[in-house]
Amino acid sequence: MAKVIKFQRAEPAKFGLKRVKGRKKVDLEEFGQLNMFAEPPPEGKVINLAPRLSPFETALTLDEQQDELAKEAYNKAIKAGDSVADAYCNLGILEFQSGDVVKGIDCFSRSLKSDPRHFQSHYNLGNIYSEEGNLTLARLHYEVCLEVAPEFPHVYYNLGLVLALIKDYKVAIDVLNRFTQLAPEEDWGNALELLDGLKESLLTSNS
């Protein structure tokens, strides 16, 4: 009789939802460039050359500030046709975090309708379906992620967990080994423990 393994959940950083992030603002003075308008002459007029935020960038800023208006702002970005797939993805995270799993899944699905290869939406759906126990769909979305971004290590870890749970031990071992090849060594802990258990179960099932 094969040994039953009690698999640990992934750490939140490896199993959590992944938001689409905007470009970081760069302070040029940190790179040695002087601010020419720090002290404008009294008779001079300072012209604001900073670009206006797009609807999506506005929503992302509100989201990062945990402002309750972020949902409304993402919907405005979608209506404006600005970064539609990204906006739906981030809106899906907000819906999921507020406890509405169905709306979250719907937003991620709409994101994929706009961009079928949207990495973050596939990754988030994989995480949600894994949490909800739909391992077949979780596996599907993680495998699409690997087609889109094969060097992203956390997908291998999450997929390895799913494969372990459906008892596809051999493939799970291969996937987790790939994770250790890509991830920094300090992230290997849970994966190595899981690999040991999988190898033991594989030996037991083959004996």
Confirm if 128 and 111 have CB atoms less than 8 A apart. no
**How much is the pTM?**
0.78
pLDDT of residue 42: 54
pLDDT of residue 20: 87
Q: What is the pLDDT of residues 82-126, one digit of tens each?
A: 999 999 999 999 999 999 999 999 999 999 999 999 999 999 999
CATH superfamily of 54-115: Tetratricopeptide repeat domain (1.25.40.10)
CATH for the stretch 117-207: 1.25.40.10
- Both tokens assigned to 23: 């470009």
Provide the residue ranges of all domains of the chain, joining segments of one domain with +: 54-115, 117-207
Q: What value does the CA radius of gyration of the chain take, rounded to a whole number of Å?
A: 22
pLDDT of residue 189: 86
Which residue type occupies 157? Y
pLDDT of residue 23: 41
pLDDT of residue 17: 81
Q: How far is CA 121 from CA 11, 45, 84, 113, 135, in A?
A: 20, 46, 12, 10, 17
Q: Look-up: residue for tokens 């999450």?
A: 158
Do domains 54-115 and 117-207 share one topology? The answer is yes
Question: For the chain, which residues score pLDDT lower than 50?
Answer: 1-14, 23-41, 47-49
